[in-house]
Amino acid sequence: MRFGERLGAAVAEHGPLCVGIDPHPGLLASWGLAPDVAGLERFALTCVEAFGGRVAVVKPQSAFFEAHGSRGVAVLERVISDLRDSGTLVLVDAKRGDIGSTMAAYAAAYLTEGSPLAGDAVTVSPYLGFGSLAPALDAAAANGRGIFALALTSNPEGASVQRATGPDGRSVAQAVVDAAARANAGLDPLGDVGLVIGATVGDHGLDLSDLHGYVLAPGFGAQGATVADLRAVFGPELRGVLPASSRDVLRHGPGAASLRSAVDAVRRSLEM
């Protein structure tokens, strides 16, 4: 099955929630864990135990693992493997973006079967031009995986680039949306190229009607976005929207049971 098909099935079974695994040093401390590889591993594997088989998508933030060097990356590899073994889709939040052979190498690492870093999808940056993502698009299609391209992020600095207007009158973010829509054309029910649009961006001014793909909406929960905000930004039906919550769930650790209870509460809030 294509990634879009597998994601659709996962959302139908578990609801649209995407939960992050963000081993921030502050969170490790709040769990009573040391900011070292042992603490990282305990944190991450507790999250796997709590979330595996319970949510549609889990999103480990690669940077917090990379900060610990090769041993931290080895923990990330185990997290990806264990989540996939549980039947849970993994979105590796790496935000990679480059050109030519370098982008092809990133695609091999995160999207190619057999790579220990390959989840089911990866976040990518299109800001060297959407065409620079061609190796990732090709690898995703060949391996039944997906990508989520940054379109309109919630950080204030992003607006100066993403909302800038090009020669054709479209915003840069709209050009990314349109390129993703072309990549998804003809795929049913939804395509394999998703976008990242912050849940806190407010009136985004984007035309998403032809996207035919999923939208990852970070910022839900601890960063301030509510269900009402999601509906205001994306429309009342929220079709294809994956609200992403990390700290709002992770603060309930260190027990796996309390993390599961937090996930259940967030999922119930999305049904209201």
Question: What 8-state DSSP symbol labels residue 252?
Answer: T
Two tokens at 32? 């009573």
Strands 146-152 and 121-124: parallel
Q: Which residues contact 74 (CB under 8 A, 6 or more apart)?
A: none
Q: Is 258 exposed, middle or buried (0-12, 13-18, 19+ CB in 10 A)?
A: middle
Question: Which is the catalytic residue, given 95, 163, 170, 247?
Answer: 95
SS3 string of 23-34?
A: CCHHHHHHCCCC
The question of whether 95 is a catalytic residue gets the answer yes
What is the SS3 assignment for 133?
helix
Do 117 and 77 contact (CB within 8 A), yes or no?
yes
Do 176 and 130 contact (CB within 8 A), yes or no?
yes
Name the nearest CA neighbour of 46 among 61, 65, 31.
31
Indicate which residues carry an active-site annotation. Answer: 95
